[in-house]
Amino acid sequence: MNCSKKSDQSNWQSNLQKRGVRADSSGYMPGLDGLRALAVFAVIAYHLKLTWAPGGLLGVSLFFVLSGYLITNILLKQWERSGSIDLKDFWLRRARRLLPALFLMLAGVMLWVMLCAPERLAALKPEALAAVFYTSNWYLIFHQVSYFESFGPPSPLGHLWSLAVEEQFYLFWPLLLGWGLRCFRQRKWLIGGTVAVTLASAAAMAMIYIPGHDPSRVYYGTDTRVFALLVGALLAMVWPSGKMTADLSGKKRLALDGAGSLGLLVVLLMIGKTSQYQTSLYQGGLLLFSVAAACLVAVLSHPASYLGQFFGWGPLRWLGGCSYGIYLWHYPVIILTNPVVNTEGLNLSLTLGQIALSITLAALSRYLIEDPIRYGRRKRVRRRAPALQWWQRPLAHSTKITVSMVLMFLLVFVSPDEGMETSAKAIAESQVTTEQAQAQTPGTVKEDSAAKGELAEADKKSDIKGEDITVIGDSLMINVEPALQEHLPGIVIDAQIGRQMHQAPDVMAKLQKEGELGNIVIIELGSNGAFTEKQLMQTLDSLQGTTEIVLVNTRVPKPWETVVNETLSKVAESYPKTRLIDWYSASSGHGDYFYSDGVHLTQTGVEAYGELLIEALISNQNDKHKSCYNNKKTKG
């Protein structure tokens, strides 16, 4: 048995040496690089809106747990060696690791926007500034509350909030940990205090989060996300890498890999089954995921783990080594190369190209910028540098950093403001002008005459009265209101920019009190955010006196689109008086229906939407007439 153990350990070390990794390198755990690869590709899948990974955003939590573990592990080793934590050395190492790649990405994005989309530069500058100072998460919290900013083009820097959370942790955690190590000689008190802060952070998330409302505050907040980093820190306190040995018995090794496999299963299931708008995620789900991730990290960091050797496979390890750069570059690449309006669904060739470009940029960043600054690769040419001409000599690290900071300053502060992002408010306010211009243009009248003729013909065949219909909607219904008023005179339309489902019961109560709630109620809500099944059911239950309820699903280039449509479909099936109109499918392949935000409708889209609603109402009325006729015939 001992010979077998020694043989396994020898093979493990030999394999690492063949792949260019020293088995005795300080703190290096190859399996964790493979886990980084899993985390970054989960995030990419989420941002590509791949349906099989709705919980890909949990890849960020994986990174948090990993960071908390590795950073605390480093700090505890330093304390054990010297009895103190060298804060200056720690922060300088973090800066050399993180800043060069960040500055390169920011400079590249700002330069691309300045050359190719200057109208977006004004809105991007404050985000770049927030990224430089690692405050992106709080910037998002305080600037995405307004609906009018939510439907412009997505920001290519929106993913940097997670780096801000980590950097804030790197700034304060060494101070707190050093204080705790000095004050508490017994490690159990330090562990107990960290557990308390971890639970307090998770509890804050659960208490602040309101189901069916925008989760940005709890999703981006440092105070409500730090528990994932602290879970990793706790793991480092009870499972330090320096005290692990590859000399484990068969049963212990089997138990180790069994625990790791269970953690991996939970991680993969939650990535495949959860979504950003699932209530349970904020009421303990993210804490559960962090614990499962910590279990997986514990096993992958152990030299005796077969699972760790699998995750330490060469290609996975290389991708994990590039994961920071891949994370930095993938989102700008996706945002800046996606079509402005996409009603066609997944474009496989574009998706593969975006992934390949992200990896390529990350590799170039790693080998040309990050590693030379981080490890001092220029030492190799130091001996022959004096013999070279000045233009042949490699740049000093300080020069590279200075040049990158000057470039960032020029791009953020000196480049001209060329405009503002498109907003939902601007689009809504432009509708009247657009419709007036189209009415005065003969060519436009000819193009729309066929659609209007079809609506007029439908009107003649139907005896639906506008007075019987009430519509409750958001800004999309503001666009459609003129068309519905024309073909259904007397229809009551209550639409408001930014309205969400949780506001609907109050709107209905007000309309009922004023005597304006018709027998047929159409609900068009979901463009501005997700809602729970419970909230939708409460809305429908408040319409007991109506004869028919019509729900309209949504097409919106936002993460909540799938959640909204699935909730509407599921609930509509369980309510007998309720039917669903599938605007999402009807608008598929029709980019001409939408303005550049992919939500609000052009005149062509307005006519198509109105026709869809009226045809659905007529079809349902005809079905009722047939049912009534058959009942009479049966009784006769």
| 501-549 residue pLDDT tens | 999 999 999 999 999 998 999 999 999 888 999 999 999 998 887 889 9
Q: How far is CA 463 from the centre of its chain?
A: 47
User: CB-based burial of residue 183 (10 Å sphere; 0-12 exposed, 13-18 middle, 19+ buried)?
Assistant: exposed
Distance, CA of 252 to CA of 329 (rounded, Å): 41
Residue 211 sits at φ, ψ, to 5 deg, of: -55, 135
CA–CA dist 422, 268 (Å, integer): 37
Cα distances (angstroms) measured from residue 36 to each of 293, 325, 369: 12, 12, 20
Domain boundary residue among 277, 294, 321? 321
Q: Using DSSP, state whether 146 is helix, strand or coil.
A: coil
Specify whether 24 is catalytic.
no
627 found inside a domain: yes
317 and 432 assigned to the same domain: no
Q: From the candidates 162, 201, 475, 542, give the one annotated as an active-site residue.
A: 475
Over 60: is that where the pLDDT of 610 sits? yes
- Percent of the chain at pLDDT above 90? 58
Condensed to tens digits (0 to 9), the pLDDT of residues 125-170 reads 999 999 999 999 999 998 864 434 456 678 899 999 999 999 999 9
Q: Determine whether 600 is an active site residue.
A: yes
What local confidence, expressed as pLDDT, does residue 410 receive? 61
Q: Which of 321, 351, 367 marks a domain boundary?
A: 321
- Answer yes or no: do 293 and 174 share one domain: yes
Residue 428: inside a domain: yes
304, 432: one domain: no
Residue with tokens 């509407």: 568
**Residues counted in the chain:** 636
- Distance separating alpha carbons of residues 459 and 456, to the nearest angstrom: 5
Domain count, the chain: 2
In a domain, 14, yes or no: no
Task: Report helix, strand or coil for 123.
Answer: helix
What are the distances in angstroms from CA 158 to CA 99, 105, 128, 130, 131? 17, 13, 10, 11, 10
Note whether residue 215 is domain-resident: yes
pLDDT in tens, 272-317: 999 888 899 999 999 999 999 999 999 999 999 999 999 999 999 9
Domain with 268, as residue range(s), is 28-92+119-321
Please check whether residue 589 lies inside any domain of the structure.
yes
Q: Edge to edge, what strands does the sheet with 548-552 contain? A: 492-495, 469-473, 520-524, 548-552, 578-581
Residue 49 lies in a domain: yes
Alpha carbon distance 256, 263 (integer Å) = 11
Region 349-374 average pLDDT = 94
In CATH, what number is assigned to the domain containing residue 527? 3.40.50.1110
DSSP 338: S
- At 157 the three-state DSSP class reads coil
d(CA 293, CA 309): 17
Selecting among 257, 468, 474, 597, the annotated active-site residue is: 597
Kindly state whether residues 316 and 430 are assigned to the same domain: no
Mark whether 42 and 187 lie in a shared domain: yes
pTM above 0.85, yes or no: no
* Residue 596 scores a pLDDT above 60: yes
State the average pLDDT for the chain. 83
Whether residues 207 and 73 share a domain: the answer is yes
pLDDT tens digit sequence for 179-192: 999 998 888 999 99
Residue 333 lies in a domain: no
The DSSP annotation for 568-634 comes to HHHHHHH-TTEEEE-HHHHTTT-GGGB-TTSSSB-HHHHHHHHHHHHHHHHHHHHHHHHHHHHHHHH
What are the tokens at 245? 């040995």
Neighbours of 74 (CB within 10 A): 18
pLDDT at position 120 is: 85
Residue 417 lies in a domain: no
At residue 432, the 3 state secondary structure works out as helix
CA dihedral 109, 115, 120, 125 (to 10 degrees): 50
pLDDT digits (tens, 9 = 90+) for 559-574: 889 899 999 999 999 8
365 catalytic? Reply is no
